[in-house]
Structure 1
Amino acid sequence: MAGYTRASALGPITDFVEARGGSIGRIFRRVDLPLALLDNPDLPLPLSEQFKVLSEAGRDIGDPYFGAALGQLVSMNKLSAFGAWVSSAPTLAGAIDRSARGLNRFLQTETVLRFRISGTKARWSIEFLDPGRDGRFQNELLGVSYLIDGVRHFAGSGWSPSLIRSTCVGAAQAAELEKIFRAPVRHGARASAVEFDVGLLAATGRMKERPDFGSEPPIAPDFGLREEVAMLSSIALLEGHPKIDWVARKLSMSRRSLQRALDAESCSFSTVLDGLIKDRAMVLLRSGNRSLTDIALQLGYSDGAHFSRAFRRWTGMAPSQYRARSQRIHA
């Protein structure tokens, strides 16, 4: 089953790529995603698309271990509201428990976190179940980096794992990763994992505030096609009117197959899109004083008149009437 993550899981990828002579714009064009996605970190993103971004980024700057190198800059507590919630646990043991309970609901689906204790050693692993292949290894390197930072948040900035288990192949790759992680790496693992002394489970974190986690919208563990189309269309909407052919490609379907599958769920692409654009239009009308023409263009309409007709069809009122009413209610 395909998994979803949030765009925030890519971490500080823009600065990292540009500092090494790459082009984040070129990378996103090659994977056919809007660059504006990086300015909307809470938007759901297909996990396979994140794999592709990491893979293309590695190729762009010529780094076969791009995920590990980027991972040296990631921070668990900046990983959307989920990361802040995990990092605010009173102890490392509590953070690991929160991660297991909240990951698939609030950050990333089709991803399994496991924790086990053997003697004096603790092992925390991450495994991706999404069938995507291109870039999977880079994502595994990034994933284990988040685990390392999660432990380091409680153990102290100078802490290093006693062992990293990696899915890399052979001693040569493990040796290269040891240089990046500055810790022993064992190759050939089924799932990436970090090992540390069990005594660290009682270590306390630096973050004392308790973030509000209730406002973060969950990512459902099982999506119907309608929800997947809506989420992908939300990404496309960042750069204009979503196109069914683009959505179909991202779902590895033909246009006709997508239409038939939506028919089976008693809806259509235009129905999904109408609901999405209506909701976005209402947010834009309530949140500022941008002109109706600017809003229309952002939503993919050729002019304000086309947008106004569509909005009147959805709500029974003109956009200007809706804005005025919203302002009176919140005055």
Structure 2
Amino acid sequence: MRGYTRASALGPIADFVETRGGSITRVFQRADLPVGLLDSRDQPLPLKDQFNVLSEAGREIGEPFFGAALGRLVSMEKLSAFGIWVSCAATLEGAIDRSNRGLNRYLQTGTVLEFNVIGKTARWSIEFLDPGADGRFQNELLGVSYLIDGVRHFAGSKWSPALIRSTCVGSKQAAALEKVFQAPVLHGCKVTAVEFDASLISAVGCRHPVVETSVDYILPPVSGYREEVKTLLAIALLEGPPKIDWIASKLDTSRRSLQRSLVSEACSYSMLLDEMRKDRALTLLRSTDHNVTDIALQLGYSDGAHFTRAFRRWTGTAPLRYRNAKVAL
């Protein structure tokens, strides 16, 4: 199962890397992603690419447990509108329920959250189903950090987990993680989880209040290559003209196999790129004051003339005439 997440789930990674002397631009280059993703918080991206960013960030600053180190800075309520919605629950039990119900719908697919009470112990776990391997462990450390922060929002700033279950290997890794998390760590577990006193589930929020917000965006379901290609095209356009070979590599397939798969879904790469450019062009002309040349470059065209010809083909009119007509309405 190939999971997708939102760029907002990367957390404060850029500041974390650069305050430690690293280059976030280098990190994204090695992960083969446009750094513009950091400014596109709601943009979906393959979960395995988040794994890769975390892995490369750890190498960049020489931090073997990068996900846990970054996790000390994360805050559930800053995790886009989804995090605010979770943090505004009346009790910890309500926040856990919102997280478990809403994660796959609003923030991240290919991920399972489970909550169980065993006697006097509550266990909240996170598991990634995506087959991507590189950086997966770092993402588990970051994921459990969000769970810890979610509990701390209700239990108080001085609260610490009774136990963290980790997939780390051996007592040496567990001991190193205990120093980062400031909590006991059990190694060799099948699923990453945080354990705490079950009586806390009725706790109410203890940190500064956050303003309730609705989560009005839904993570698009990915079924078939057509939707996956459209998602990756949106990412590629953050940096320049999209290339089919890059799209194919992100989908772990060859260019020819991708083309054949798209034909079987009654479409083609060029058709999907054309649709994406058209939709984005209409949005930019309606909602921004960017000039035609800037919009052309954002859509991967070499100049305004090529974009204008494409726009006339889509709509039968010139870009500025379209914008002026919309403004007049």
Length-normalised TM-score, structure 1: 0.97
Whether the aligned pair in 1 keeps the contact of 2:308 and 2:319 (CA below 8 Å) is yes
Q: How far apart in 1 are the matches of 2:327 and 2:106?
A: 32
Matched position secondary structure for 2:238: helix
Q: How far apart in 1 are the matches of 2:153 and 2:25?
A: 32
Matched position secondary structure for 1:238: coil
Show the 5 A alignment for 1:70-109: 70-109=70-109
Q: How far apart in 2 are the matches of 1:81 and 1:288?
A: 23
Deviation at 1:208, TM superposition (A): 5.3
Show the 5 A alignment for 1:127-138: 127-138=127-138
Q: How far apart in 2 are the matches of 1:226 and 1:125?
A: 32
Residue 220 of structure 2: aligned partner? 219
Residue 14 of structure 1: aligned partner? 14
Whether the aligned pair in 2 keeps the contact of 1:108 and 1:219 (CA below 8 Å) is no
Show the 5 A alignment for 1:264-279: 264-279=264-279
Deviation at 1:325, TM superposition (A): 1.4
Whether the aligned pair in 1 keeps the contact of 2:44 and 2:219 (CA below 8 Å) is no
**Does 1:305 find its partner at 2:311?**
no
Q: How far apart in 2 are the matches of 1:97 and 1:124?
A: 11
Q: How far apart in 1 are the matches of 2:111 and 2:288?
A: 38
Matched position secondary structure for 2:237: helix
Deviation at 1:36, TM superposition (A): 0.4
Residue 47 of structure 2: aligned partner? 47
Matched position secondary structure for 1:239: coil
Q: Which runs of 5+ in 2 are unaligned?
A: none
CA RMSD of aligned residues (A): 1.0
Identical amino acids, percent of aligned pairs: 69
Deviation track 1:62-119 (CA, whole Å, cap 9, x = no partner) reads 1110000000011111112111111111110001111111111111101000110011
Deviation at 1:240, TM superposition (A): 1.4
Q: How far apart in 2 are the matches of 1:91 and 1:317?
A: 55
- 124-133 or 275-284, which deviates more: 275-284
Letter in 1 for 2:200: L
Residue 69 of structure 1: aligned partner? 69
Deviation at 1:296, TM superposition (A): 0.8
Deviation track 1:193-228 (CA, whole Å, cap 9, x = no partner) reads 0001111101112435320212x23332x4221110
**Does 1:171 find its partner at 2:141?**
no
Deviation at 1:326, TM superposition (A): 1.5
Whether the aligned pair in 1 keeps the contact of 2:77 and 2:210 (CA below 8 Å) is no
> How many aligned positions are there?
327
Matched position secondary structure for 2:201: helix
Deviation track 1:15-72 (CA, whole Å, cap 9, x = no partner) reads 0001111111001111110000101011001000000111111111111100000000
Q: How far apart in 2 are the matches of 1:4 and 1:151?
A: 25
Deviation at 1:127, TM superposition (A): 0.3
Q: How far apart in 1 are the matches of 2:73 and 2:321?
A: 47
**Does 1:146 find its partner at 2:146?**
yes
Letter in 1 for 2:47: L
Q: How far apart in 2 are the matches of 1:144 and 1:21?
A: 26
Whether the aligned pair in 2 keeps the contact of 1:163 and 1:186 (CA below 8 Å) is yes
Whether the aligned pair in 1 keeps the contact of 2:82 and 2:215 (CA below 8 Å) is yes
Q: Which runs of 5+ in 1 are unaligned?
A: none
Residue 160 of structure 1: aligned partner? 160
Deviation track 1:275-304 (CA, whole Å, cap 9, x = no partner) reads 111111112111222211111112111111
Q: How far apart in 1 are the matches of 2:317 and 2:93?
A: 54
Residue 295 of structure 2: aligned partner? 295
Deviation at 1:327, TM superposition (A): 1.0
- 128-137 or 307-316, which deviates more: 307-316
Residue 320 of structure 1: aligned partner? 320
Q: How far apart in 2 are the matches of 1:71 and 1:131?
A: 23
Q: How far apart in 1 are the matches of 2:292 and 2:193?
A: 51
Residue 209 of structure 1: aligned partner? 211
Letter in 1 for 2:137: F
Q: How far apart in 1 are the matches of 2:210 and 2:133?
A: 39
